Chains A and B, each alone.
Chain A
Amino acid sequence: MPTLWGYSISAARSIDYDKNDQSFLRRLAHSCPSSKLCIGCGGCTAACSAGNLTEFNIRQLQMLVKRGETRETAEQLHKCMLCGKCLLVCPRGVDTRKMILSMKRFLREHDQ
């Protein structure tokens, strides 16, 4: 997507807040306000127990939510073991476990 100044934005990394389905994101911001504090540093992903064993990336998961990709989120989400390591390393105090639990709950309702 060429722009006026000659930079380009990769579609896979962009978050289009105008077009995305934001219901999930809004729900998450409501049930876990600290999720808004994330700066995407990746500390959680580096510590992650599941990430040690498979291609699971909790930081990316948050990205998927922001992009409104609910189905993909659901597929990734159940890899988390809820062990809480991410919670302890996060420099911003994001309550990652609560965030994941909220997502699980949301998806459960979404399914029904």
Chain B
Amino acid sequence: MYYDPFVLPFTIGLTALLLFLAVKYIRWIRTFRKSERRKIRKGMFSLKTFRAAGEVFSECLLHRKIYRTNPFLGYMHTCFGLGWFLLIVAGKTESMVYHTSAFNPPYFAIFFRFFHPAKETFPYSETFAFITDLLLLFILSGLFLALAKRFWSRIVGMRKTTKHRPLDLLILTSLWLIFPLRFLAESFTSGLRGGGSFLTNNAGEFFAEFLPLDHLTYPAWWAYSGMLGLFFVLLPFSRYMHIPTEIVYIFLKNWGIRQGTKFNAFSKIQMYACSRCGICIDSCQLNSSLQMDVQPVYFLKKIRHGKEYESLIENCLMCGRCEASCPVGLTHNALRLSKRPDLSRITKNTYSYAKNAAMPAPAKVAYFAGCMGQLTPTVTRSMERILEQAGVSCTYIDKEGGVCCGRPMLLAGNREEAAVMAEKNRAILKASGAEVLVTSCPICLKMFREEYGLQIRIVHHTEYIDELMREGKLKTVPGEQRTVFHNPCELGRGCGVYKAPENILKHVSRKIDTDFDGKKSLCCGGSLANTSIDGRQRNRIAGDAAKAYAAYQPDVLVTACPLCKKTFATASAVPVKDIAEVVAECCRP
């Protein structure tokens, strides 16, 4: 039997870790609602599981999304993730070939070079030695980059790395020492007894020249095993808890579990799945414009470690930029919202005055300007003109003052009051008999789509105009203005509307492509979701964003949200227009 006491730290550490994780995950999942547990049971035996496995491979091992943000950082993560994984696979295969049995204890594969007498060969022993050496080199190169990143974080293109706690530093050190120690243990063994391949063999010969290897080899194996054991034991208390938790998260997500309105066990799984890579910091404009440390990485870390996080709950624009860039794909808006308390006071009088709202004339198409739309009459007038040109008979349901869609209320946490408002609007909509609801405000759009449960089509005016143009109902002349498009957070990242405004602007203007197209669009800073920053700070964000767009030297900065338009108007040197205004100028009968 292959055994030596030095394998104990590793074996004990690994066993403790696996037990701990199993207990923790099972306890979390048991608090899920019945319907969610049913989803898990159903999803488990479906194609979704394969999709999840694929995602685990590409995100947890290859770290594909990190590559997209930053190839350097991606390589570093791949070295550790994929490198370590392949090293385990190669080691296990090697041990099975040697032992001709699948059932050998885990430590046997990990410490194979210790147990295997170097002179003894077995099928492909040289190849295996070569592969494991290559993988070790691969990991060590990543380690070198990680070290470089610590000392010079600009080399990998990140402006900030997150701060560490002492415990995090300890476990970071243990992780960093694992592979150098493995390298030393294998090299020393090779220097003493031969074996290994291009890396450990040569290094062994080199060390043998000036080191007393017969005294150092055995302690090196102890140190390697001890370091692994230490890492495993510390893992649940450090950020590396993200390694197993991310896998659990990916499976749950693929089986259909979503962040609900409450901060629950699934939220905790999301919280632990954050790798603290810090990518969200760079994407957040509260950082770039106001140097505020409010990003998900800080928010989740504070909740996890029981620090004061209340002040961060409100301080977020919910622009979704961090969510779009997070390599783990955590749902940060929903997480943050789940922490906002519902202060609703519901009585029978709540918004009872809404019955004073005028009931609309019936029509197939209903237009909802929204509160913000009412504050930007140029937008609503342009829409009226466009709809008239296209011969659409439309009812303007909130022209004489309407009820707010309720999303600003919901974003403040007060779901119940928002639900009352939704009820009022539903009644108004029903009275209109409309089959299509067109809105100019993306905030309303998201609310109508996600919270109203309406059985009619709900479109943003960009989508509707695009449709009218394609069908030939709305005729336009090509415009000469150079435009850049600011896709409002709630329209693009919020509702997934990207193509329609692109199409429109390409027809009615000379649209310039920018680095901020699509998902990367900037936030105007006017978001009602943030109740912490003041007017001056909003203006700073708006100014910085406007400047970034102005760098492309457009004649007009085009947006598609009345709130964005208002916010930019005071901060931009370039004229700001809503896309409806640009189209209305180019209409022809």
Contacts and interface: CB of A to CB of B under 8 A. Distances in A.
B313 to A, nearest CB: 12
- Secondary structure at the B interface, as helix, strand, loop or mixed, is loop
Interface string A62-92: 0000000000000000110111110111000
Interface residues of B, number: 33
B356 interface: yes
Interface stretch (A11-19, A21-29, A46-54): A46-54
Given A88-B375, A104-B343, A79 B353 contact: yes
B535 interface: yes
A59 interface: no
B163 interface: no
B412 A82 contact: yes
Interface in A86-103: 87-89, 93, 95, 97-98, 101
Contacts of A98: 531-532
Contacts of B374: 49, 85
Interface string B527-545: 0100110111000000000
A82 B414 contact: yes
Contacts of B343: 101, 104-105, 108
A52 B406 CA distance: 16
Contacts of B403: 49, 53, 81
B404 interface: yes
A47 B375 contact: yes
Contacts of B401: 49, 52-53
A49 B351 contact: no
B345 interface: yes
Interface in B317-359: 343, 345, 347, 349-351, 353-354, 356-357
Interface string B398-411: 00011110101100
B531 A83 contact: no
A93 B356 contact: no
A88 B357 contact: no
B356 A54 contact: yes
Given A83-B371, A97-B531, A88 B353 contact: no
B440 to A, nearest CB: 14
B535 A95 contact: yes
Contacts of A52: 401
A17 to B, nearest CB: 26
A64 B354 CA distance: 23
- Secondary structure at the A interface, as helix, strand, loop or mixed, is helix
B37 interface: no
Contacts of B406: 81
Given A53-B354, A79-B351, A85 B535 contact: no
Given A49-B401, A98-B531, A81 B421 contact: yes
Contacts of B371: 49, 81, 83-85
Interface in B394-431: 401-404, 406, 408-409, 412, 414, 417, 421
B356 to A, nearest CB: 5
Nearest to B526: A88
B289 to A, nearest CB: 17
Most buried by A among B343, B349, B406, B531: B531
B17 interface: no
Contacts of B412: 82, 97, 101
A49 B404 CA distance: 7
B265 to A, nearest CB: 27
Contacts of B345: 78, 104, 107-108
Interface in B257-287: none
Most buried by B among A49, A54, A56: A49
B444 to A, nearest CB: 10
B566 interface: yes
Contacts of B536: 93
A88 B414 CA distance: 21
B372 interface: yes
B375 A34 contact: no
A52 B356 CA distance: 9
Contacts of B414: 82
A102 B536 CA distance: 20
Contacts of A78: 345, 347, 349-350, 417
Contacts of B357: 53
A79 B421 CA distance: 11
A84 B526 CA distance: 10
A104 B343 CA distance: 7
Nearest to A98: B531
Given A81-B351, A93-B535, A101-B531, 17 more contacts: A34-B534, A54-B353, A78-B349, A78-B350, A79-B353, A81-B403, A81-B408, A81-B409, A81-B421, A84-B408, A84-B563, A85-B374, A98-B532, A104-B343, A104-B345, A105-B343, A108-B345
Interface pairs A-B: 10 shortest CB-CB: A54-B353, A52-B401, A93-B535, A83-B404, A81-B404, A83-B371, A82-B409, A53-B356, A84-B528, A98-B531
Interface of A: 34, 47, 49-50, 52-54, 56, 78-79, 81-85, 87-89, 93, 95, 97-98, 101, 104-105, 107-108
